[in-house]
Amino acid sequence: MDAKLLEDVLAFQREERTGQILYERLAGVIKDEKNARTLRDMSRAEGEHYEFWRKLSGRDVRPYGGRVRFFEFLARTLGLTFALKLMERGEEATAEAYARVAPAVPGAEAVGREEESHEDALMAMIEEERLAYMGSIVLGLNDALVELTGTLAGLTFALRNGPLVAISGIVTGIAAAFSMAASDYLSSRADGDPRAAKSALYTGAAYLITVALLVLPYLVLPRGGSWIFVSLGATLTIAVGIIAAFNFYLAVAKDLDFRKRFLEMAGISLGVSAFSFLVGLVVRALFGVEV
């Protein structure tokens, strides 16, 4: 075996060992027993592939410890499905690498195909609560972004007082969050959904978190002069950041088109904000509001 081929084989080994350790570790901390069994199956498959490469190299290798800790952290904070699918995205080049060494390593290409099909099948078996309620999260998040960015933009031009805009936004946001949660609950109950209460909880929580993030610049930045417009700019930047982060999460966890969803959601939110700018100017001019 030449040096380049040995280097590739050892790299494959390390990838498989990393997956084996990560899946086994996650299986030990996941509460859902069905998901834990699926993860153990994935770990066993990675272990078998590790042994395939180890017989060729004649060496043992250590896993990527930092990668194991990173994806374990993601699984605990952002969910199992997101962490695993993001990890698999990073390994897309592995199948191509397997095919590259196939002429020198009989069975390598078959191992790559088997790994890909097996992991896809196992990933489809994973069930996660937060994904089941993703529609409710989208409802709360999107509604808060559209309504509150527009409200804060209009109030900024009408009132031009940071704390007053913040207080108005908080009161409006909290009332709207409870209203949205109640509407989601009643709608789900009318459809006979036994998970109506939890669905409403996810909707309201997503709304309130978004409200807190959007109002924050008006509370922490100076209130005088042109700072009110800096606060508005910061709020819009946060809104775009939330939209980008959330749609990236959805794109990974649910295999959706990130660019299309991001542009659509950002366009709606910023479009409403732009319209509200004009409304704020008109209200200030018509009623002569000075604060």
- Tens of pLDDT, residues 231-266: 989 998 999 999 999 889 888 888 888 999 899 888
In this predicted model, what pLDDT tens digit does every residue of 32-48 receive, in sequence order? 888 888 888 888 988 98
Q: Delimit the domains of the chain by residue range.
A: 3-127, 131-287
Share of the chain above pLDDT 90, in %: 26
Q: What is the pLDDT of residue 215?
A: 94
Q: What is the pLDDT of residue 101?
A: 80
Q: What is the pLDDT of residue 68?
A: 92
Higher pLDDT, 178 or 283: 178
Q: What is the pLDDT of residue 122?
A: 62
Asked if the model's pLDDT at residue 73 lies above 70, the reply is: yes
Q: Which of 119-128, 182-191, 249-258 has the lowest mean pLDDT?
A: 119-128
Q: What is the pLDDT of residue 69?
A: 93
Asked if the model's pLDDT at residue 4 lies above 90, the reply is: no
Mean pLDDT across 4-14: 87
Asked if the model's pLDDT at residue 291 lies above 60, the reply is: no
Share of the chain above pLDDT 70, in %: 88
How open is the CA angle 135-137-140, to the nearest 5 degrees?
110
Q: What is the pLDDT of residue 119?
A: 66
Q: What is the pLDDT of residue 95?
A: 65
Q: How confident is the model at residue 83 (pLDDT cuts 50, 70, 90)?
A: confident
